[in-house]
Amino acid sequence: MAKDNTQIVIRPAGEADIEGILAIVNAYAAENLMLPRTAEQVRRALPGFLVAEDGQVVGCGSLVPLTPALVELRSLAVAPEWRGTGLGRLLAQALVERARQAGYQQICALTLVEGFFTRLGFATVDRWALSPKIWHECIYCPKFDACDEIAVVMNLAGEPAADPPAGPDAALWRRLRVGPAATW
């Protein structure tokens, strides 16, 4: 049975969501597709997290400030049964909008799935072009010496808000734009 995004709620994460976030992120980390996270790491970053839920956490993503002008989109993932439904795109769009509303000039990500981000309007850049602050964190990564991630950036300053998607995602996008997004 196909998953229905119209019943999904995307909202800021809370303490009760930490285990759900960890389950999703660390399942992908076990496949070497993401970096693993601890409960303490998620707890420290919790103010930047959004979750998608349908009674339980089925997706997540966070914003991590790097400089006053640059924020990183991090830990973007959906539960395996929600892959291919557009939920990851909706979470990414909600995080981009949240970054825009917060006044950031750019949003970046390090990814193994470059095409996902370029379809959202991100541009591929040389990893070394990103803020030195991100590299300050990267030196602690177990993949630092053999990093296979691709850097992507989107300029936010002066950009109009994203157009709403068509089809079944349109109703959810309208709720994001007039509901919880206004209070982020």
How confident is the model at residue 142, as a pLDDT? 60
What is d(CA 4, CA 168) in angstroms, rounded to the nearest whole number?
Answer: 8
Q: Is 45 among the domain residues?
A: yes
Q: Name the pairing type of β-strands 106-111 and 123-125.
A: unpaired
Domain count, the chain: 1
Residue 183 counted as domain residue = no
> What is the biggest distance separating any 2 CA atoms in the chain, rounded to whole angstroms?
46
Q: Specify if 84 maps to a domain.
A: yes
For residue 182, is it within any domain?
Answer: no
Which of 42, 36, 77 minimizes the C-alpha distance to 59?
A: 77
For residue 131, give the CATH number of its domain: 3.40.630.30
> How far lies 87's CA from each of 26, 43, 61, 69, in Å?
18, 23, 11, 27
Domain span holding position 48: 5-177
Measure Cα distances from 27 to 30, 47, 55, 67 in Å: 5, 22, 20, 30
Question: Per-block average pLDDT, block size 10, for the chain (184 residues)?
Answer: 71 97 95 88 96 95 92 94 93 96 93 86 80 60 61 78 47 41 34
- Give which of 99, 93, 95 is closest to 68, Cα–Cα: 99
Is 12 contained in some domain? yes
Question: Does some domain include residue 184?
Answer: no
